[in-house]
Amino acid sequence: MLGIGASRDLPTVLIIDDDMVSREVMATVLTMTGYTIHTAARGEAAIELLDTGACKPEVILMDAQMPGLKGPGLVKELRARSKASIYAMSGSDLAEDLTRAVDGHLSKPFGPHALQELIEQRHAPAAAPVEDDEPVVKPETLAQLRGLMSAAAVREIYEAVVNDLDKNAVALERSLAARDTREIKRIGHAIKGGASMAGAMEASRIGAQLETGGDELDNIPALMEQLKAAARNLRRMLESEFPAWE
């Protein structure tokens, strides 16, 4: 994605994130705020963008956990090609070697103001803890998206989140049948990141439980049912808040 509606006062940003929902929500929100945005789904794709000159970022946001080229190795390759400030994004604490390699840390989920604060002050705001009794969608996130874009555009974001949850539920069933704990944890991480960026805290919390408890296979069926329930709740919210005729 290339940024549109850019402001000369805001830097060009390259987002590197393998999770499609996280990447597109960030790109949409930041673009609507005035940033020029480029995106890459993997570290290797980001390197290619820089090598070809297709992207000349002043800020690089990179997910802390991705397949392929990642972590300090990716930071080294990025710094060899760009003078951009590099910030790691994650829903948990960074490894020490990555903390030393980057210029700062953004805790998912974050908004445009948090990014601007980090750029100006070189530190990330603390992430608010997620409580078990939080609503299906965080009201602050929903209000922010409503203020930035049309109801139809917001609906598209949440439809993408619901579709992603459905696909991940199927993938979880396959992984459980194969007793693939590593894949269960990877899916949990993807759910946590994508859902949290859209403020879908119920789904994000379940993703976090899958990520940290993926080794406990006896608990996975119950979490899968909770994930399906979270998707149903999100659909009900979608139909209530954003009717198709809007």
Could you state, in order of their start, the residue ranges of all structural domains in the chain? 12-121, 139-241
Distance of alpha carbon 66 from alpha carbon 186, whole angstroms: 9
**For each of the chain's 246 residues, which pLDDT tens digit applies?**
444 444 446 788 999 999 998 888 888 888 887 788 999 999 999 999 999 998 899 999 999 888 999 999 999 999 999 989 999 988 778 888 999 899 888 887 776 677 767 766 543 333 334 444 557 888 888 888 888 888 888 888 889 999 999 999 999 999 999 999 999 999 999 998 888 888 888 898 899 999 988 888 888 998 998 898 889 888 888 888 877 644
Quick check: helix, strand or coil at residue 12? Answer: strand
- Give me 59's structure tokens: 């800020």
**Residue 200 contacts residue 136 (beta carbons within 8 Å):** yes
Quick check: helix, strand or coil at residue 34? Answer: coil
**Residue 91 contacts residue 64 (beta carbons within 8 Å):** no
Distance of alpha carbon 129 from alpha carbon 165, whole angstroms: 22
Spelled out in words, what is the top-level CATH class assigned to the domain 139-241? mainly alpha
Q: Element (H or E) spanning 222, and its range?
A: helix 220-241
Which CATH number, 3.30.420.40, 3.40.50.970, 3.30.300.180, 3.40.50.2300, labels domain 12-121? Answer: 3.40.50.2300
Beta strands in the chain (DSSP E): 12-16, 36-40, 59-63, 85-90, 104-107
* Equal CATH topology for 12-121 and 139-241: no
Angle CA 17–22–28, to nearest 5: 105
Q: What are phi and psi of 205, to 5 degrees?
A: -65, -40
